[in-house]
Chain A
């Protein structure tokens, strides 16, 4: 099996954008091609990670639209939809295409256009992933977060403030990310005094609704230096995907995300590393509680101890294990299909030493992209070539 390198990357500014989904995808796609020094018609495969362009905008068939806009014909195209983890699933598909030998050059572009919808409408589009017995009760993804946060705080005797500190940390990181939706710090009092959204969680415990796109270019490692003449690229050393129950209340332990455990086991084994070898991580902090759950289920911290790591500064940018140096979904924004791609974009920048003011010391980085409320997960491990 070919080892797969990433030799080009881009992301658009995340936030409220005038551009529609086709334009967002083309903006990121063109920039990634430029970064890798290739043209659209050099691509064998072109994947688009997107959850709901039809539901949000009435635009379907986006991969073919993108291929035409980037003059990438006759590249094979496919849309990868795995709800909020569409980006991670797209990384998996792109990796597979090159590792299998089916493609010598693949581009993945993730994107979503959401902000033209009201919060209520956008929440409903996302909640449509739930089972009928959940949907009819009016459940939303934020309400799953509220249910789980209450249980976590109760079971592990964690203070409410520890969740707020995730938001404070990630907003602080986002200040140095020119692509982030929010480039401003928030203090703990602001987080804790913000309006209740899903008790005990408040507005600042949630990521915003966002437009944006991100892209990556993949090739076999054996030819990576053709596209990265300085020899500085990243390798996907491990990747794993897994699912948990569709119906959230059927999980044995509601504070454990089985898909995170299983996907990271696969990724670690492929990479030949363990959680202690990870230098930097991008986690799917769609809600602050998710950073605790993933940091534990990835094996960074013992079950019920993730909150202590945040309290002690372990996950700060200058801490022992920086988490969400990009600002995370919390500060950077969460354009559904783009988020998993943008997570890998950040790890790519970190392990190739191109993260600018956000740079930390990192040879090995991990991205964990979560769909639904842990329903489907992709974990990707990247290593720098130098």
Chain B
């Protein structure tokens, strides 16, 4: 389930990766729990022992909203969902969830997919979720790529 600890949040291990796609990196801890995003220790204080690539896991929509009043550099409207990953029968830690944008349809309408509570979704990579530097946060202080979610057919 786990890989070795990576050096940065994009999943690069510091070597030429031959064009591998960025990973959706969660942290795994000595007590078996997994969190997204990674923290220094687990909710119970256990140390980090590795990473989990959430691209390998399907998720379900817990809840969603469409925000029409978005901050500078954010698409408008912005449909967001909290999703919960299916981590398999052997996982008995706290739920592994993420907050993410719902992906746009592929029909050039520019509209996001429709989702509802309980829908199955999968992560899709986006190289820029929000325009760096348009908002208040220092552009160099974090990365701006990541994962959106789209319904699983």
> Which of A121, A125, A147, A195 contacts B64, CB < 8 Å?
A147
**Quick one: given A124-B135, A124-B136, are A137 and B130 in contact (CB under 8 Å)?**
yes
Which B residues lie within 8 Å of A133 (CB)? 36-37, 98-99, 146
Is chain B's binding surface mostly helix, strand, loop or mixed? Answer: loop
CB pair B98–A138 under 8 Å, yes or no, is no
**Quick one: given A120-B72, A151-B62, A254-B63, are A138 and B101 in contact (CB under 8 Å)?**
yes
**Quick one: given A124-B136, A147-B80, A254-B82, are A140 and B143 in contact (CB under 8 Å)?**
no
In chain A, what residue has the closest Cβ to B75? A138
> Which of B71, B99, B100, B130 contacts A248, CB < 8 Å?
B99
B residues 37-85 near A (Cβ < 8 Å) are: 37, 43, 62-75, 78, 80-82
> Which of A131, A136, A147, A148 contacts B130, CB < 8 Å?
A136
CB pair B98–A150 under 8 Å, yes or no, is no
Complex Cα distance, B99 from A139, in Å, reads: 9
User: How far is the CB of A226 from the nearest CB of chain B, in Å?
Assistant: 46
CB pair B99–A121 under 8 Å, yes or no, is no
Complex Cα distance, B10 from A136, in Å, reads: 14
CB pair A154–B129 under 8 Å, yes or no, is no
CB pair B66–A198 under 8 Å, yes or no, is yes
A146 within 8 A of B: yes
B residues 6-59 near A (Cβ < 8 Å) are: 35-37, 43
CB pair B63–A138 under 8 Å, yes or no, is no
Is chain A's binding surface mostly helix, strand, loop or mixed? Answer: helix
Which B residues lie within 8 Å of A140 (CB)? 67, 69-71
A73 within 8 A of B: no
In chain A, what residue has the closest Cβ to B117? A154
Which B residues lie within 8 Å of A55 (CB)? 136
Which A residues lie within 8 Å of B72 (CB)? 120-121, 124
In chain B, what residue has the closest Cβ to A134? B99
A residues 47-91 near B (Cβ < 8 Å) are: 55
**Quick one: given A120-B72, A247-B37, A250-B97, are A132 and B67 in contact (CB under 8 Å)?**
no
B137-151 vs A, Cβ < 8 Å mask (1 yes, 0 no):
100011110100000
A residues 119-177 near B (Cβ < 8 Å) are: 119-121, 123-125, 127-128, 131-140, 142-143, 146-151, 154
CB pair B142–A138 under 8 Å, yes or no, is no
B94-138 vs A, Cβ < 8 Å mask (1 yes, 0 no):
110111110000000000000001000000000001100001110
Which B residues lie within 8 Å of A249 (CB)? 82, 97-99
Complex Cα distance, B68 from A195, in Å, reads: 9
Complex Cα distance, B137 from A247, in Å, reads: 17
Which A residues lie within 8 Å of B67 (CB)? 138, 140, 142-143, 146, 197-199
> Which of A124, A132, A148, A150 contacts B142, CB < 8 Å?
A132
Which B residues lie within 8 Å of A143 (CB)? 65, 67, 78, 80
CB pair B65–A150 under 8 Å, yes or no, is yes
Complex Cα distance, B153 from A350, in Å, reads: 58
CB pair B80–A136 under 8 Å, yes or no, is no
User: How far is the CB of A225 from the nearest CB of chain B, in Å?
Assistant: 48
User: How far is the CB of A22 from the nearest CB of chain B, in Å?
Assistant: 22
User: How far is the CB of B148 from the nearest CB of chain A, in Å?
Assistant: 8
CB pair A138–B37 under 8 Å, yes or no, is no
Which of A136, A149, A200, A247 has its CB near the most chain B CB atoms (within 10 A)?
A: A136
Complex Cα distance, B143 from A197, in Å, reads: 27
A196 within 8 A of B: yes
User: How far is the CB of B128 from the nearest CB of chain A, in Å?
Assistant: 9
CB pair A128–B101 under 8 Å, yes or no, is no
Complex Cα distance, B136 from A124, in Å, reads: 7
Which B residues lie within 8 Å of A136 (CB)? 129-130, 142-144, 146
Point out residues on B near A: beta carbons under 8 Å: 35-37, 43, 62-75, 78, 80-82, 94-95, 97-101, 117, 129-130, 135-137, 141-144, 146
**Interchain residue pairs with CB less than 8 A apart (10):** A119-B69, A131-B37, A132-B142, A138-B130, A140-B69, A154-B117, A199-B66, A199-B67, A250-B35, A254-B63
Point out residues on A near B: beta carbons under 8 Å: 55, 119-121, 123-125, 127-128, 131-140, 142-143, 146-151, 154, 195-201, 247-250, 252, 254
**Seed contacts A136-B146, A249-B98; 16 additional CB < 8 Å A-B pairs:** A128-B137, A135-B137, A136-B142, A138-B129, A139-B80, A143-B80, A147-B63, A147-B64, A147-B82, A147-B99, A148-B63, A154-B117, A196-B68, A197-B67, A249-B82, A250-B94
Closest 5 CB pairs of A and B: A146-B65, A138-B74, A124-B71, A132-B142, A151-B63
